[in-house]
Structure 1
Amino acid sequence: MPMKDVTITGLFADRVRCAPDATALRFRGEEMTYRQLDLRAEHLAHRLRDLGVGPEDIVGVCVERSFEMIVALLGVLKAGAAYLPLHPDEPAPRLRFMLDHADARVLLTHRPVLGQLPDLDVTVLDVDGPEAPDATPLPYRGSADGLAYVRYTSGSTGHPKAVAVPHRGVVRLVHDTGWIEFGPGETFLQLCALTFDPSEFEIWGALLSGGCLVIHPPGPLSLPELAECLRREKITTLWLTAGLFHRMVDRHVDSLGGLRQLVAGGDVLSPAHVNRVRRAHPKVRMVNGYGPTENTCFTTSHTVTRQIRGTVPIGTPISGTRVYILDEGLRPVPEGEWGELYTGGAGLARGYLHRPELTQRRFLPDPFLPGERMYRVGDVVRRDWSGVMEFRGRADDQVKIAGHRIEPGEVVAALTDQPGVSEAVVIAREDVTPGEKVLVAYVVAELPAENPADLATELRRALRHRLPRHMVPAAFTMLPEFPLTRAGKIDRSALPVPKLMPRAIGTAYESPRTPVETKLADVFADALAVEQVGIHDDFFAIGGNSLIAADVLARLRGELAVDVPAARLFFENPTVAGLAETVATHTASSTEASDEDHEGDRACD
């Protein structure tokens, strides 16, 4: 079959025919064969067709990591439709916006999530529901250019934008390509959140090549549990966000030795950590995977073959991908010169759903291939004599926090929509929380008499109800006015480093009562750069995130000389009082390190 006609469903059908009894999925000790997965997905496709779902329709999928998640994706595609990944923790207004904007009339979910969903104006279908009476294969009326999925990313207008990706984009990523090895001998770990596009690589990289996909249990992720999972499940191919990669190398580098291929990315990789993996496990293929959602997950890759000095290269284009480094006039820059990256080829998305003007601005006619398009990535790169590219930074204001691409403009729009806010600027800083890049909001109040602490409390509370957790700034700084450049524009370089912040939370302050609570409060305050922390203050409500939580847990284990409680307990009661109570029940029973850190980044939830 010509490559232009290949679809996700067609490749999966080939695998079912070739090895129907091979293990397709493993989850919590249970297995599902390719034949069983195909049958369950076919039943679901019939149920969707009975609801009128067909080609080019979009179906919401809001599930935890499970067998049902894979059944849902495959069932949607077999019905000829496209799936829209949604996170169970999305704020209700954002969830409603995405379903409405995508014209999704059906939402697939399952029992663990059903009780969490708000009232929605869609048909909610339980993937665990009864099987259709007829599961004969439905005739697939789609094509390689048919819509496969829609994924929302941060948007500068105040609303997320939906990237629409066809089947050929996924096929180009994982089929008949040489950037890594795919095949029946590979065991992939599905760890990435479904709302984060590397999940496409994990899922279809395994299932379209006859491999096995091990689904990690949902919920907060403990680093020791991940390390044990890699060993127990004999994972051979693993994707990690940059943040998680760095932590695994720091604390569990030995657990990576059983891999054949380790792909990391989503943000800039530390050369020191990459070099450490190369020294510890020279037989592991270490790959830096780079690319925007608009070009189906990965655009370039770089296999590290020698010690890295300087930055980790982003490499060369993967199969079916074109890249250009151009100046402002869309002319190629000389070798070794910095320019802006543009990309095209089979991985290119259709554009932004229902956003023709934005699509036209970012997806441009390819000046070097008439009739083709290219996407303006917005990153500044250069290429050396061998064709290998190096990344320098963004050409615009877009930033990445813990692997998530964020348009600060969306956060600014949410802030300026709040009462009492005159102006707002949001930037990423690395000098607020040690070792972490975090968002910082700078706000000018409408009324000079506005109490800064009270306004910060209200703004944090409002944004937590409107935006995903990773988009809520870690710090809020109130200014009487913004510094300006000579041209009259806001001088972002002159914005001050946030000082220790007052408590910005509605909970009444209660001081620590015991030495353990005092230590916990001090550690919280130090990690979050706040003046004081009460024993009932929620760690996440006062600026914490999952990556900072991981470091807090590791520090507490050393400073309190006790086995730090499981990461899940921290996330169930993330207060000084709650953690102190749990710590009190865990005395040090051995000298062996109990390094239960957490990487609950939304990229892995």
Structure 2
Amino acid sequence: MDERVLSLPELFAARLGCADAPAVIAGEECLTFGELDRRSNQVAAYLAGRGAAAEVVVGISLPRSVDFVVAVLGVLKSGAAFLPIDPLEPLERKRFIVEDAHVLLTLTEERLRCDESIIDSFPADAPAHHPDPDSLAYVIYTSGSTGTPKGVMVQHASVVNYLTWAAEHYGGAEGGAVLQSPLNTDLGITSLFVPLLTGRPVHVLPGAESLIDELPMALARGGLGFVKLTPAHLDLLSAALDPATAGGAARLLIGGEALRFAQLDLWRTASPDTVIVNEYGPTEATVACCANEFPAATGGDGPVPIGHAIAGATLRVLDEQLRPVPDGEVGELYVGGPPVSRGYLHRPAMTAAAFLPDPGSDGGRVYRTGDLVRRDGGGMLVYVGRTDDQVKLGGHRIELGEVETVMRGIEGVRAVTVALRAPGTSAAALTAFVQLDDGVDTDGVLRVLRERLPDYMVPAEVHAVDTFPLTTQGKVNRTLLLESLDGTADTDLERDVSEIVGDLVAIKSVDVGESFFAMGGDSALAARLVTRLGRAYQVDVPDAVWLQRPSVAGFAELIRTYRRHGRDAALSLVGQS
């Protein structure tokens, strides 16, 4: 007889034998497992009284905090599914997500503050019933190819399947894990739940702090079981970290983008015993379905393989007719087995197009990832690129990932992103953005490319940049890179900054030249403003630099300078006004 699949609240309940052990640590605030259990039970009762139940979606728009962890558990215990919404997302996107998901209500700082006495009045007893394993656990919105976000529905059985595997592999270290990743992606699922399901603490880095302010300090304290982050965030961490503290976490879990061996150089030399885990998995396949684990001392060139199937996943590399491709050849990756999620919320046609009958089993489904991979000589999968990164230019079909791979092989090229500029027009052209070592120039890069690629695949332009702008999910933002070349974002940028400023000072029409303080802003509001702008635009400079010219125009100039010329150029703006 098969063992019954548990729900997330049931897995958490199994850890309550360590009720007095720390469960959530955020600065000076600490909750034990017992306190977390009781507070989340009260939130569950509060939500149930307002209609929360199976298949109902409850939004959570809170910064990284103890309250966020309590809210997530409370929603799950109520039987509902949680939908994480970044509080710093643009207002229109938040409105769209809430309406599109048919959210019952959204837990915000204001709601928790206003209803604190009501929540505290509910009994702290555990709910009488646990969610069914097949019921919805969470919804996470990802960017859609049409520009419209789509909600991915993940059921308890799938996330429990992944977390059970992850707890066995990552959960043994006493120090727990750091929760520092964006909360509106599934990167945080591992960092939040693996410690809680293994009796270890979650160290929550405050949402008001930037990654490279807080994470190096957390690693310096040492003793962490693991840290999970994207390759782009890994680059930022490498630049900010004291090599002596590189071993502050036993494991680095890296996912969300393609990882290169060169990005691990700091750990290879300073902390060779750190275990690197290159996790692969789209949100539709429940966090991760493939992994490659190795010590940082392992050398290599080019991309790090994404490894082998994990957590019961089946991975098929197929051609356009859904036939298996031979090892070594490139095909599209299809994921089957327990990790496969339900599909897209309220989008049956989109679900039917991406979730297909499994050609290798009866009655199963596979998710069509859109990722191109190949198997290497050791049987491991290697990520090659995206099917939707294929562009057509001058009658030729070009894989942007192939161009990027060739460029990464050029000596002195540290990182590269290739995009199509002005698609669909007579001015369409491949454009490359590179980070270069000292002594290497873009002309030299182009000379090598002309020797290694056919003419139609050689970028028309190669631009050296100090930093790559990131999305809130920690991925390279190609749109901002292209906009930095032609300035088309300037008007939109000032408009968006005006919306953020106006929201804080409660003014609908903002004069872009007027001082924030003349509009009614004070030091407390200025601190909130700087945090929101820095997070929204991935600009990491001290508060004093932001407030050198405290107007919409000044903020926009700083953001624009940081995007186009890097951090040092932005810092040099101090004293120029």
Category of TM-score, reference length = shorter chain: 0.7 to 0.9
Assess, with a 3 A threshold, how the Cα gap between structure 1 residues 176 and 89 changes in structure 2: closer, same or farther: closer
Assess, with a 3 A threshold, how the Cα gap between structure 1 residues 223 and 165 changes in structure 2: closer, same or farther: same
Matched, 1:385 2:377: yes
Write the deviation string for residues 534-582 of structure 1: whole angstroms up to 9, x where unpaired.
Answer: 96675763594898599515x777xx7xxxxxxxxxxxxxxx4xx449x
Q: CA separation in 1, counterparts of 2:284 and 2:380? A: 21
- Partner residue of 1:514? none
Q: CA deviation at 1:204?
A: 0.7
Task: Give 1 or 2: higher helix fraction.
Answer: 2
- Partner residue of 2:102? 103
Q: How does 1:398-413 map to 2 (within 5 A)?
A: none
- Partner residue of 2:36? 37
- Partner residue of 2:339? 347
Q: CA separation in 1, counterparts of 2:196 and 2:276? A: 22
Write the deviation string for residues 59-86 of structure 1: whole angstroms up to 9, x where unpaired.
Answer: 0001011110000000000000000101
SS state at 1:76 partner: helix
Q: CA deviation at 1:98?
A: 1.0
- Partner residue of 1:327? 319
Unpaired stretches in structure 1, ≥5 consecutive residues: 115-123, 401-407, 417-421, 444-451, 468-504, 510-526, 528-533, 561-575, 585-605
Write the deviation string for residues 413-462 of structure 1: whole angstroms up to 9, x where unpaired.
Answer: xx99xxxxx9999998524534525424899xxxxxxxx97x75444456
SS state at 2:64 partner: coil
- Partner residue of 1:5? 5
- Partner residue of 1:154? 143
Q: CA deviation at 1:508?
A: 6.3
Is the CA contact 2:219–2:246 (under 8 Å) kept in the aligned structure 1? yes
Q: CA separation in 1, counterparts of 2:565 and 2:163? A: 32
Is the CA contact 1:343–1:374 (under 8 Å) kept in the aligned structure 2? yes
- Partner residue of 1:25? 24
The one-letter amino acid paired with 1:333 is: V
Assess, with a 3 A threshold, how the Cα gap between structure 1 residues 288 and 95 changes in structure 2: closer, same or farther: same
Q: CA separation in 2, counterparts of 1:6 and 1:159? A: 34
Matched, 1:84 2:123: no
Is the CA contact 1:46–1:132 (under 8 Å) kept in the aligned structure 2? no
Q: CA separation in 1, counterparts of 2:352 and 2:41? A: 37
Q: CA deviation at 1:278?
A: 2.4
- Partner residue of 1:269? 259
The one-letter amino acid paired with 2:326 is: P
Q: Percent identity between the aligned chains?
A: 32
The one-letter amino acid paired with 1:29 is: E
Q: CA separation in 1, counterparts of 2:554 and 2:309? A: 42
The one-letter amino acid paired with 1:355 is: R
Q: CA deviation at 1:89?
A: 1.5
The one-letter amino acid paired with 1:137 is: A
- Partner residue of 2:478? 439
SS state at 1:175 partner: helix
- Partner residue of 2:93? 94
Q: CA deviation at 1:337?
A: 0.8
Assess, with a 3 A threshold, how the Cα gap between structure 1 residues 127 and 349 changes in structure 2: closer, same or farther: farther
Q: How does 1:421-436 map to 2 (within 5 A)?
A: 429-430=432-433, 431-432=462-463, 433-436=465-468
- Partner residue of 1:167? 156
SS state at 1:396 partner: helix
TM-score under structure 1 length normalisation: 0.69
Q: CA RMSD in A?
A: 3.9
Assess, with a 3 A threshold, how the Cα gap between structure 1 residues 278 and 30 changes in structure 2: closer, same or farther: same
The one-letter amino acid paired with 1:151 is: I
Q: CA deviation at 1:99?
A: 1.0
- Partner residue of 2:299? 307
The one-letter amino acid paired with 1:289 is: E
Write the deviation string for residues 1-20 of structure 1: whole angstroms up to 9, x where unpaired.
Answer: 9565221111000001x211
Assess, with a 3 A threshold, how the Cα gap between structure 1 residues 548 and 158 changes in structure 2: closer, same or farther: closer
Assess, with a 3 A threshold, how the Cα gap between structure 1 residues 185 and 456 changes in structure 2: closer, same or farther: closer
SS state at 1:226 partner: helix
Q: CA separation in 1, counterparts of 2:190 and 2:261? A: 24
- Partner residue of 1:207? 196
Q: CA separation in 1, counterparts of 2:192 and 2:148? A: 28
- Partner residue of 1:284? 274
Matched, 1:218 2:210: no
Q: CA separation in 1, counterparts of 2:108 and 2:93? A: 17
**For 1:138, which of 127, 132, 145 is the aligned residue?**
127
Is the CA contact 1:47–1:132 (under 8 Å) kept in the aligned structure 2? no
Is the CA contact 1:93–1:466 (under 8 Å) kept in the aligned structure 2? no
SS state at 1:314 partner: coil
Q: CA separation in 2, counterparts of 1:92 and 1:12? A: 34
Aligned residues: 468
Q: CA separation in 2, counterparts of 1:441 and 1:280? A: 34
- Partner residue of 2:330? 338
Assess, with a 3 A threshold, how the Cα gap between structure 1 residues 6 and 91 changes in structure 2: closer, same or farther: same
Is the CA contact 2:282–2:288 (under 8 Å) kept in the aligned structure 1? yes
The one-letter amino acid paired with 2:179 is: Q
SS state at 2:311 partner: coil
- Partner residue of 1:541? 556
Q: CA separation in 1, counterparts of 2:481 and 2:14? A: 54
- Structure with greater contact order relative to length (CA < 8 Å, sep ≥ 6): 1
TM-score under structure 2 length normalisation: 0.72
- Partner residue of 1:482? none
Q: CA deviation at 1:386?
A: 2.4
The one-letter amino acid paired with 2:263 is: H
SS state at 2:219 partner: helix
Q: CA separation in 2, counterparts of 1:427 and 1:156? A: 20
Assess, with a 3 A threshold, how the Cα gap between structure 1 residues 339 and 460 changes in structure 2: closer, same or farther: same
Q: CA separation in 1, counterparts of 2:264 and 2:339? A: 27
Q: CA separation in 1, counterparts of 2:365 and 2:561? A: 39
Matched, 1:191 2:183: no
